[in-house]
Amino acid sequence: MEPQARPAWVRWLGLVGWLALSFGASATGALFMPGEWYASLRKPSWNPPGWVFGPVWSALYVAMAVAAWRVWLQGASPARRRALGAFFAQLALNALWTPLFFGLHRPGVAFAEIVFLWLAIAWTIAAFRPVSRAAAWLLAPYLAWVTFAAVLNFTLWRLNA
């Protein structure tokens, strides 16, 4: 069904679904909290305070959901299917990082995983671009934040090895 043929309530319900799916990836954060282990780690001077992460990730999950929704709104095509497949792959990797880092206390393994996450986000941006340039741009802050998070993850791993 073409985007224009969908009733408005279906389009808006789709946005709610993409928001639920995107924020669902953050559920691992509720299961694996930073806790005492993280508090005891040696951290670089540029480590952000804990209160920064919640608002930043909330904004990123909203942007991710809106980006995926914009792609979903486009007519069915192989490009849309590839783009949404890339989105699901990066979302799964996003959800996996927290249990590796905070749950298993394995910053080295989490760093390797975040490198794959970074690649998956870049792949998703590239896949979104032909379907919706706006959707691709909505993921740029996410890629930037994960770049910073990867550097922080690596630094924490090395400082505490």
DSSP H or E segment with residue 14 = helix 8-24
Task: Give the CATH number for residue 44.
Answer: 1.20.1260.100
CA distance linking residue 92 with residue 51, whole number of Å: 24
DSSP H or E segment with residue 138 = helix 133-138
pTM > 0.85: yes
The pLDDT value recorded for residue 91 is 98
111: which 2 tokens? 């760093």
Could you report the per-residue pLDDT of 68-121, keeping only the tens digit for each? 999 999 989 999 999 999 999 999 999 999 999 999 999 999 999 999 999 999
142: which 2 tokens? 């996410």
CA distance linking residue 136 with residue 40, whole number of Å: 38
Residue with tokens 């073409």: 2
Q: How many domains does the chain have?
A: 1
Boundaries of domain holding 91: 3-159
